[in-house]
Amino acid sequence: MMSVISIPFIQKEILQAHQLHEQLSLFEAQMVESAIVSMLSESFCKNEETLKYLARLLSPTSYLDIINARSGNKICGYPLCHERTSENLSNGLFTYSIYCSKFHSRCSLYLMRQLSQVPLNERLGVHSTSYYNPSLNDVYNVDLLEELIRNRISTDTVTSLTADFRCLEVDDTHKDDTTLLDEYFEQVTTGKNSCMKY
């Protein structure tokens, strides 16, 4: 049975040890990101607020690590989901979907496109358990696709927003590899060789 991750759990188990200073060192930031990836590889967020809280600590690269870890465990790549992905037989090989549905694929892409490229160790105070205030609007806040839909934005608008992701530029200043995040994400989720279920 998968465990459920909440904001108090994240604060206690991952962030509590890092409350003595305003900025994480590179090593501490790597520890926090690694702990989040490991935690979400076999669990899911309790609610939307938990996912939005975690998003403050993630970059597109660390989010892709979460998707890959969940996919490796045959769990939908979207951290709010606890559904298993389906097994498909293709050319005599078993493959697994990355997401349980096309909707969760879009939710995941919408979230990833909002994540900051600023390395975690350069984000002042976001790891502080007293820092988080969902009512304050700052550069690390994200919106979820589900929220847009609940707020009665038309389907055409949502489709247009997700289609427009391809036109957005990615700031790759802090990336080590040469593959653009969008290209990688596109290959993983919708490429020709993808086994994603629609």
Task: Please write the tens of the pLDDT for every residue from 4-56.
Answer: 999 999 999 999 999 988 899 999 999 999 999 999 999 999 999 999 999 99
For the chain, give the number of residues.
198
Amino acid at 174: H
Which has more pLDDT, 63 or 150? 63
Q: What pLDDT, on a 0 to 100 scale, did the predictor assign at position 172?
A: 38
Domains identified in the chain and CATH numbers: 3-190 (1.25.40.820)
Structure tokens at 101: 């549905």
Segment (H or E) for 50: helix 48-55
Read off the pLDDT of residues 55-87 as tens digits, 9 standing for 90 and up. 999 999 999 999 999 999 999 999 999 998 877
Say if residues 110 and 117 touch (Cβ distance below 8 Å). no
